[in-house]
Amino acid sequence: LEYHTYDVFTSTIFAGNPLAVIHVPSSLPPSAVPQQTRQLLAREFNYSETVVLSLPSSTSSTSPTSSPNDASGASMEEVPTFPVQIFLVDAEVPLAGHPVIGTAVHIFTRLLPKGTTRAALQTKAGLCPITYDTDTGRVGADMPHDLHQHSWRPTAEELGAQQPALAAYLKGEGSGVEALGVDVLSLVKGMTFVYVRLPSVEALGRVGMFQPRLEPTVLDEGWREGVLMMMFYVVLGEAEEEGGRKIRTRMIEGTFEDPATGSASCGLAVLLSLKSGEGGRWEMVQAVEIGRRSEIAVKVDMSGEEVKRLELGGTAVGVMQGRV
């Protein structure tokens, strides 16, 4: 099987978040690469996520169902469509942001005719229309979403025990989880994040790993599956373009820190949009503290209190390729 690796949400090699994309040719029956083998391949790469990309018999293959229009207003029904599976090292997940962006860059730059600007990924969470800017190399993805805010939130005491270096920010009048802002949101079923707002970049730098990792058993009934991770964030101010907001983030899952988490970034943008009552654009910078700076763009379009469209944007740079 052919594979390619990318650093995602960056244009600089050895920054961003690594991703492996493994080709499964259309000439192979699905049984030739069973689910267990696909999971073992992800474990072998040991990246935060690995994509198994099923190559269509022809790049003229099109998306099988209608979907929302892309930013240009053109129908996405007649674009090349690629089925994908997204794997953590120990499980498959229905959706994740950096695999979508990295795979999109791979498809536009290596698999489709030069100049192609529209395609789609078929994820387990739904159809994901993707676009490509041939001038900048940036891709945009209309992210599937099935949003749910949970009733459970960690207490200040629980956060303090998990993050002792943040204890000073969790005590005293005008502090604690209510003042800081702690929310729990699922972007889709199986991808849930605890969002903890911090007052400063200094506080963000104090965030550490923790054990045991969070389990989804604390979530609302019907949503207790998949992964439960924590994103810590600081709102910095207005971005230079389109009136967006600049945010610094870190994403922790137990003893692992993710260099770039597109799905968590999407959820954070949705959360802030719901709090403010309006959509907008967010420019997020993640993982500076571990030397893997990642730049993630999210745009939220709302109609009333409903999220109508959620676009994730970014770049990726190729690193390695080979066969396994």
Active site (catalytic) residues: 49
The angle that helices 262-276 and 97-106 make with each other, rounded to 10 degrees, is 120
Sign of the CA dihedral running 35, 36, 42, 45: negative
User: In 3-state terms, what secondary structure has residue 197?
Assistant: strand
For residues 100-112, b (16+ Cβ closer than 10 Å) or e, as one string? bbbbbbbbbbebb
Please give the full DSSP string across 234-298, using - where no structure is assigned: EEEEE-SSTT-EEEEEEEEETTEEES--HHHHHHHHHHHHHHHTS-EEEEEEE-GGGT--EEEEE
Question: Is the peptide bond prior to 212 cis by the omega test (within 30 degrees of 0)?
Answer: yes
Within 8 A by CB and 6+ apart from 26, the residues are 54, 55, 56, 57
- Contact, 94 vs 51, CB < 8 A? no
CB 195 within 8 A of CB 238: no
